Structure 1
């Protein structure tokens, strides 16, 4: 009896080991298929063009996943709730139908790969190493705002006393002016006093704005008469005259600074310096989508062959093996959505158009590889492949 049990346990163990080995092999094959067809638009952990795939088999089920990968649009048109939800959530970018290019076994292997990747624990973030001695003795300072109400009582008292002193000073000045005015009597209206600084301040406080606007003499110029239009001989406002004098001084200083001593850069020089700085900035900031590029189309056979290989690996899933267009636009006609010269295509590939499902490739392809793909795409012009997608964009 014991021998039978031992034999049964051994057989069961071998069966489980064999099943595990088969499942692992399925996942290995699935990874190859996934990398060749799916990783352009999908990631296990995060959303890209399509949704993150971690634990998707638990949410949808294996059978649904196989049908969706084979032809997602059939499920959408049939009104499948989950398929419609995914389609609408991700900007209604249709997923390519793989029923004709992948077998059911390939798709099953992809699902096995997704399961295996989903079961792996998430990588823990590595905390930066810090000097424990410094951390224990000198903790990082944090800035905290303090409201006025949280200030100590002595600070509140100081503010109150300062306000009282300012108020008493104003009251004292006003009282002294009143006493001073009473003592002078009518003599404050004498022109000598009114033109003095004290007189100007006194009458300004009493509402006389002559010190700001000038005196209105209401006298007509005897010789200034043009077609019945007469001119009064009034003073210009003092503020206007002061500003005019300031502009004269400024003009002299400007002329000496820019034109005599040449210690300042003129507008042309400033423009040239700013253009040089902009060129340096653009060269240093390679990730600027607005940076000017001047690439030339590659025409040698090796570069175009390399571009074709990269295109088939990374772009054919959305643009077709011949560039005829599937999910993405047709690349063989004369119409372009984002420009049809080599530099425009280079930028489109590098930075992508996420809103329309085009992922950025700058983190996956080098500059030379992107230029090779761009040149290969231009070599497809006028090839007229079968079942080409209708033109999109503007004619170049």
Structure 2
């Protein structure tokens, strides 16, 4: 009888434990689901699981820090920094001393624990495998699209190396020939080498250039005083200009003639206006092929209908309020309600700032996360905040517009 009783007791305990385990899994999953919503509404603007953004990457943060530490840090990170917490100070210093928004009062302990549950579950999930996309085959006769500047010097065709080597060899042979002729002719000329007429000739100056006389380059001082050029005892010599200077002057004359024939007579070259038009056409083609070009010209107009502004307000509250304040007064990010702008106050400027972000200043890009319509709605809502005069606004930043 005692054996039966013990068996029943053990079976009952096992049944209760099994029920508790079965009940615990859905609860944890529900916490993670709720935590994901809270994370996306409050944390995703500054944090990612895989990469550092405004703040650090959060993957496996539950392994690096205890839950108690994470709860306190999420509540008020600056209080921990002020208290001298080593880990909190290190994070604050590493990420450009950008203060994290304090969620004490806006999030309960249960909400914060749900966020940690979501981060834990997302960290332990297997990473998505990115399939390699095979390169598109090049059609027969089509030119590759790689820029010429992408070709390394060692990857140039053998013919190019042959031409370079041949040119260098010819230059060396010419210099060697000139040197040998000078060594042969100089002894044969004897004293006639020093005749004034020969030394003034181009050949003579070239020979003496090899012997260290720079008259070919600098000219020869005549020390002839100009007549009637005496000013307070200062006299002017009638010396020639240096030959190198005159040579450069003659070269510019030849270049000017060739320039005029090439651009204005034969018209085989494009003038600045034509080059500008061609570059604009190329830029238009580039913009058409690359929809995410940050330099592409946009001509959006501010949305004013109430439905669009309400949609923009919702997007702002979910994604922007954490850094700019719920009323746009500015916290980590700048004040959006005054007339001062860091990157332009036109709707197109705001649209591009939201879309491409300013990573160097901690502003994350929202392209890929928000559609074009959503970007325009939130940009229009931001502009509608101007002049709203919220409480405790951040000081003006940028230029007045």
TM range (shorter): 0.7 to 0.9
Aligned partners of 1:302, 1:382: CA distance in 2, in Å?
21
Q: Which moved more, 1:348-357 or 1:274-283?
A: 274-283
Whether 1:352 and 2:357 are equivalent positions in the alignment is: yes
Aligned partners of 2:88, 2:31: CA distance in 1, in Å?
26
Aligned partners of 1:238, 1:191: CA distance in 2, in Å?
18
Task: Flag the 1:51–1:244 CA change in 2: closer, same or farther, 3 A.
Answer: closer
Task: Flag the 1:51–1:248 CA change in 2: closer, same or farther, 3 A.
Answer: closer
Whether 1:17 and 2:25 are equivalent positions in the alignment is: no
* Alpha-carbon contact 1:91-1:355 (below 8 Å) kept: no
Whether 1:180 and 2:156 are equivalent positions in the alignment is: no
1:52 aligned residue (50, 53, 57) = 57
Task: Flag the 1:308–1:260 CA change in 2: closer, same or farther, 3 A.
Answer: same
Q: Which moved more, 1:193-202 or 1:306-315?
A: 193-202
Shift of 1:376: 0.8
* Alpha-carbon contact 2:300-2:347 (below 8 Å) kept: yes
Task: Flag the 1:214–1:74 CA change in 2: closer, same or farther, 3 A.
Answer: closer
* Alpha-carbon contact 2:229-2:236 (below 8 Å) kept: no
Other structure's SS at 1:298 match: coil
Q: Which moved more, 1:224-233 or 1:82-91?
A: 224-233
Aligned partners of 1:353, 1:367: CA distance in 2, in Å?
18
2:393 aligned residue (371, 389, 392) = 389
- 1:294 corresponds to: 299
Unpaired runs of 5+ residues, structure 1, are: 131-142, 146-164
* Alpha-carbon contact 1:93-1:356 (below 8 Å) kept: no
1:215-273 C-alpha deviation (Å, 9 max, x unpaired): 7777778xx64557988777776666655554444433333332233332333433444
Aligned partners of 2:78, 2:244: CA distance in 1, in Å?
77
Aligned partners of 1:97, 1:111: CA distance in 2, in Å?
16
Task: Flag the 1:257–1:50 CA change in 2: closer, same or farther, 3 A.
Answer: closer
Other structure's SS at 1:110 match: helix
Shift of 1:205: 4.9
- 2:266 corresponds to: 261
- 2:94 corresponds to: 89
Aligned partners of 2:87, 2:113: CA distance in 1, in Å?
19
- 1:372 corresponds to: 377
Shift of 1:308: 1.6
* Alpha-carbon contact 1:71-1:99 (below 8 Å) kept: yes
Other structure's SS at 1:344 match: helix
Aligned partners of 2:204, 2:322: CA distance in 1, in Å?
89
Task: Flag the 1:286–1:211 CA change in 2: closer, same or farther, 3 A.
Answer: same
Shift of 1:87: 2.4
Aligned partners of 1:203, 1:333: CA distance in 2, in Å?
76
Aligned partners of 1:235, 1:317: CA distance in 2, in Å?
76
2:337 aligned residue (311, 332, 339) = 332
Number of residue pairs aligned between Structure 1 and Structure 2: 359
TM-score using structure 1 length: 0.73
Aligned partners of 1:328, 1:194: CA distance in 2, in Å?
77
Structure number with larger C-alpha Rg = 1
1:142-186 C-alpha deviation (Å, 9 max, x unpaired): x999xxxxxxxxxxxxxxxxxxx99x99997676446524xx6x5
Aligned partners of 2:91, 2:200: CA distance in 1, in Å?
84
1:323 aligned residue (319, 323, 328) = 328
* Alpha-carbon contact 1:337-1:392 (below 8 Å) kept: no
1:279-316 C-alpha deviation (Å, 9 max, x unpaired): 55556555455555433211122322221221122122
**RMSD (Å) for aligned C-alpha atoms:** 4.0
Q: Which moved more, 1:230-239 or 1:298-307?
A: 230-239
Q: What does 1:201-240 correspond to in 2, within 5 Å?
A: 205=210, 225-226=228-229
Aligned partners of 1:129, 1:267: CA distance in 2, in Å?
41
* Alpha-carbon contact 1:333-1:391 (below 8 Å) kept: no
* Alpha-carbon contact 2:308-2:377 (below 8 Å) kept: yes
Shift of 1:115: 1.7
TM-score using structure 2 length: 0.72
Shift of 1:368: 2.4
